[in-house]
Amino acid sequence: MGIMPASAAPRLLRLETSLLYQFSVISNRVGGTVHALCRERFGVSAAAWRVMAHLGELQPVTAKEIAKRSAMDSVNLSRALNLLDELGYVERRIDPSDRRRIILHLTATGQAVYDEVVPYTIAAEQRLLSELGAAERATLRKLMKRVWERSAAMHDADGDAETPQD
């Protein structure tokens, strides 16, 4: 790993002030309800929902493109795609212009699941941000975009990653 502390002296990690920890907990708390719906109603894991979300927004798309955008490792991505395939939610097609590439699409059933889950996802985010005024939400989105871009630069040596929309 490329991350090394400046000094070797051990320090106490304070979880209540750690942004990484806070991001993780917020995601678990808010995303948990959406993930529970996906799992209980449609048999879809959290990772598989992330793949479906990318497919719903970007299809047709390759697994490589989803991995790059989501920072998902190939093992978890492969498991998620296999689950979606077993459930009949995703279709894999050979790209006619490059037979080495596999293009992914949601099936009609997968698209129906996506269409049903998206409103819950949007509502969860709206509920989370409901205590913030419009200016605060705009500032938060602007700051999160900068943090997103920095995380991409840290993750990818070339820093070439997708950025969220404003």
Q: How many domains does the chain fold into? A: 1
Q: Which residue has the higher pLDDT, 158 or 106?
A: 106
Helix then strand then coil, in percent of the chain rounded to 5, is 65, 10, 25
* Strands in the chain per DSSP E: 90-95, 98-106
Domain that holds residue 88: 31-131
Distance separating alpha carbons of residues 78 and 18, to the nearest angstrom: 31
* Confidence band of 3 (pLDDT split at 50, 70, 90): low
Residue 142 placed within a domain: no
Least confident of 69-78, 90-99, 126-135, 157-166: 157-166
Residue 105 placed within a domain: yes
Mean pLDDT for 131-140 is: 96
What is the pLDDT, as a whole number, of residue 10? 65
Mean pLDDT for 138-165 is: 77
The CATH number assigned to the domain holding 89 equals 1.10.10.10
Residue 161 placed within a domain: no
Residue 92 placed within a domain: yes
Residue 123 placed within a domain: yes
What is the pLDDT, as a whole number, of residue 9? 60
pLDDT, one tens digit per residue, over 58-107 is 999 999 999 988 889 999 999 999 999 999 999 999 988 888 889 999 99
Residue 94 placed within a domain: yes
Residue 145: pLDDT above 90?
A: yes
What is the pLDDT, as a whole number, of residue 147? 92
Q: The whole model's pTM is what? A: 0.79
Residue 13 placed within a domain: no
Instruction: Please report the DSSP string for 40-56 in residue order.
Output: HHH---HHHHHHHHHHH
Query: What is the chain's alpha carbon radius of gyration, rounded to the nearest angstrom?
Result: 18
Q: Which residue has the higher pLDDT, 156 or 56?
A: 56
What is the pLDDT, as a whole number, of residue 165? 52
Distance separating alpha carbons of residues 160 and 69, to the nearest angstrom: 10
Looking at the DSSP bridge assignments, the partners of residue 90 are 106
What is the pLDDT, as a whole number, of residue 155? 79
What is the pLDDT, as a whole number, of residue 99? 85
Element housing 6 (H / E): none
Please give the mean pLDDT across all residues of the chain.
87
Residue 81 placed within a domain: yes
Distances in Å between the Cα of 158 and the Cα atoms of 97, 139, 144, 149 are 27, 27, 20, 12
Q: Which pairs from 120-125 meet CB under 8 Å and 24+ separation?
A: 120/33, 120/34, 120/37, 121/34, 121/53, 124/30, 124/31, 124/33, 124/34, 125/30
> Is the separation of the CB atoms in 109 and 89 below 8 Å?
yes
